[in-house]
Amino acid sequence: MNVKSLGISREELLDRQRRAREEAGERGLAALVVFSRFGTDMYRFGDVTYLTDHHGPVGDFQDAAGWLGHGHNPLILPVEGESVLLVDLPVPDPERICADEVRFSQRIPDAVADALRELGLADKPLGLVGQQVLLASTRDQIAARLGHELDLRPADDILEAMRMVKSDAEVALMRNAVRVGGECMTRMMNAVEAGVTQGDVVAAGIAHLVANDGFPTDVAITTGADSWLYHNPVGPPNWDCTEPLETGEMVHIDLWGPVRRYHTDFARSTVVGGCAVAAVGFWLWGESLTELSVSDQWPYIVIAGIGVGLVLSPANTDALNRVPRSRYGEATGITQTVRNFGSSLGLAILGSVLILENRSQLEATAAEQGVSKEVGSQIADAISSGSQSGENIPNLGGKVGEVAAAIPHDFAVAMQTVFYSFAGVMALAFVVALVFMPAGKVTEPPSEDEANKTPAGVA
C-alpha cells in the first residue's frame, strides 16, 4: 500500500504539513511532536499517518533490553526546517513516506531526544499532538536523555480541526469504506439463520472485509437473552463459536474497523427467521380470535409484530445497500411504491375474502337457528354497509336476535381465514428467502460513475 494506491498525492500531504506548521508558528511553538501508536491498534495511528502516509506494522510492546517505545513512530515537524520521522523497524522504501528524513531506531525515546537536540529544538516550546499516546515512561526517558524536561504544550486540536475537513481524495476513500462495510454487514445479516453460530455469521462478513483492504478492529455480536448488550460479556473475541442460533432469537451485530485506513462502522439487528416468526405469530393469533379476548391474544400480536417489523427493516436496508449513493432517492421511491402497492392489493384481496367468509358464516348460523339463508345474507349486507355488531339491523323475524348475537363469533371465524392467509404469505416469504436469497457473495453495487453512464445509442 502506498500513497498512489490510496489516492492521496504527495502534494496534498505536504500541504497538510504546511498548514500544521503555520498554525504551530502562530501559537509561538517551534515544532510539533506528533505521537501515534501503530500495529493492530486502529484508534491511535491517525495523526502521523495523516501527515506522512506512514503506518507502522507492529504494535505497542513492553519496554525491554532490546527496545524502548516499540510501536510508537513519532514525527518531529519543525515550524522551520526539515521533518524527521522516527521508526522502530527498518523501512525498505522510505521515499514513499512524506518526511524529509526517516530514521530507524530500536530506542525511540533516545532517538527523539537526539533528533530534537540536532534540530535545535530541545529547549524550545513544542506542541504535543497525541497526548493520549505519549507514554509517561517515554516522556521520562526523553528527559533523561536530554538532561532536562521538555516544554510540551497541548496541540491535539491543530490536527483535529484539519482532519475534520476532508479532501475529494479522502471522501472517495470514505465512500469506499462505507461500501465495503455495508456489504460486509449485508453478508452477515444474510448469514443469520437457525443452526449457525455467531462465529459463522461473523466469518461470512469478514471474508469480504479482508478481501477489500479492510481490517476488523472488532465485530461485536450478541444474541438471545444477551442481545441487549453491546459486546459479548466474555469477549474478545466478541462472538461465540459453539451455541447454534435458534429461530426467534434477536441478533445484534456491530462491525467497525479501517478500510484502507478510513473507518467503517455499522450496526444492525434482526431476528433469526423473521418471516417464520411472523408466520407463527399470525397463525397463533388467528387461533385465538374466537376467544374474543384481547388478553388472550396480545402475546401473539407481539410475536407477529416483531416478525413483520424485523423483516421490513432489513429488506429496506438491503435494497439501499445494492445501489450507489446517487440512486438512494430512486431506490427509496421504488421500495415505498412496491410496499404501498402490496398493501393496497392485499387489502383488496383479503378484504373481499373477509366479506365473503363472513357472509358464509352468518348464513350458516342463520340456518342453524332455523332462519332462512336470505336473513343471514341481509344481516351480512347490513354489517358490510357499516352497521356495528348488528345494532342497526332491521327486524327480520323472531330469531334474528339469536343470529345477531352470533355476529362477533362469526366475524372472528371469518377473520381466522385472513390471519391464516397472513401466516401462509409469511411462510412462503421465508421459503423464498431461504431458497432464492441465500447467504454468500452478493453482487457489488455499481459505482456512481457506472450508474450515471448514458447507454450507447441514447442521446
* Strands 250-259, 262-271: pairing kind: antiparallel
Query: Tell me, what's the pLDDT at 389?
Result: 45
Helix 294-321 vs helix 328-368: angle between axes, to the nearest 10 degrees? 150
pLDDT tens digit at each of 459 positions of the chain: 443 457 789 999 999 999 999 999 999 999 999 998 877 666 778 899 899 988 888 777 788 888 888 888 899 999 999 999 999 888 888 888 999 999 999 899 999 999 999 999 999 999 999 998 899 999 999 999 999 999 999 999 999 999 999 999 999 999 999 899 988 888 888 888 888 898 999 998 888 999 998 888 888 888 877 767 766 666 678 888 888 988 777 788 888 888 888 888 887 776 666 677 788 888 888 888 887 777 778 888 887 777 776 677 666 666 666 667 677 677 778 878 887 888 888 888 888 888 888 778 777 777 776 766 676 677 667 666 655 444 545 454 556 566 667 778 878 888 888 888 888 888 887 777 666 664 444 445 555 555 555 444 444
Distance of CA 221 to the CA centre of its chain: 12
Distance from C-alpha of 75 to C-alpha of 36, rounded to nearest angstrom: 9
Phi, psi of 25 (to 5 degrees): -65, -40
Query: Tell me, what's the pLDDT at 13?
Result: 93
C-alpha cell at 162: 484539519
Distance from C-alpha of 318 to C-alpha of 281, rounded to nearest angstrom: 24
Query: Tell me, what's the pLDDT at 456?
Result: 45
Q: Which residues contact 34 (CB under 8 A, 6 or more apart)?
A: 47, 48, 51, 74, 75, 76, 77, 129, 130, 159
Q: Identify the DSSP state of 371.
A: -
184, 432 in Cβ contact below 8 A? no
Residue 370, sorted as left (phi over 0), alpha (psi -120 to 50) or beta, turns out to be left
Query: Tell me, what's the pLDDT at 1?
Result: 43
Please give the full DSSP string across 207-224, using - where no structure is assigned.
Answer: HHHHTTTB--SEEEEEEG
Distance of CA 245 to the CA centre of its chain: 20
Phi, psi of 68 (to 5 degrees): -135, 140
C-alpha cell at 241: 463459536
Residue 289 has a CB neighbour count (10 Å cut-off) of 20
Please give the full DSSP string across 58-82, using - where no structure is assigned.
Answer: S--PPPBTTBBSTTB--EEEESSS-
Phi, psi of 372 (to 5 degrees): -65, 155
Q: Report CA dihedral (444, 450, 455, 459) to the nearest 10 degrees.
A: 150
Query: Tell me, what's the pLDDT at 3?
Result: 38
Query: Tell me, what's the pLDDT at 358?
Result: 77
Q: CA end-to-end span of the chain, whole Å?
A: 41
Q: Report CA dihedral (323, 325, 330, 336) to the nearest 10 degrees.
A: 80
Q: What is the 3-state secondary structure (H, E, C) of 401-426?
A: HHHHHCHHHHHHHHHHHHHHHHHHHH
In the three-class reduction of DSSP (H, G, I as helix; E, B as strand; rest coil), residue 328 is classed as helix
Among 310, 309, 285, which Cα is nearest to 299's? 285
222, 252 in Cβ contact below 8 A? yes
Please, what are the domains in the chain? Answer: 3-163 (3.40.350.10), 170-272 (3.90.230.10), 275-459 (1.20.1250)
Q: What is the 3-state secondary structure (H, E, C) of 111-144?
A: HHHHHHHHCCCCCCEEEEECCCCCCHHHHHHHHH
CA-angle at 431, arms to 337 and 318, nearest 5°: 45
> Which residue do the cell numbers 417489523 mark?
309
160-177 burial code (b ≥16 CB/10 A, e <16) = eeeeeeeeeebeebbebb
75, 31 in Cβ contact below 8 A? no
Q: Which residues contact 198 (CB under 8 A, 6 or more apart)?
A: 221, 223, 232, 239, 240, 241, 243, 245
Among 51, 47, 258, which Cα is nearest to 173's? 258
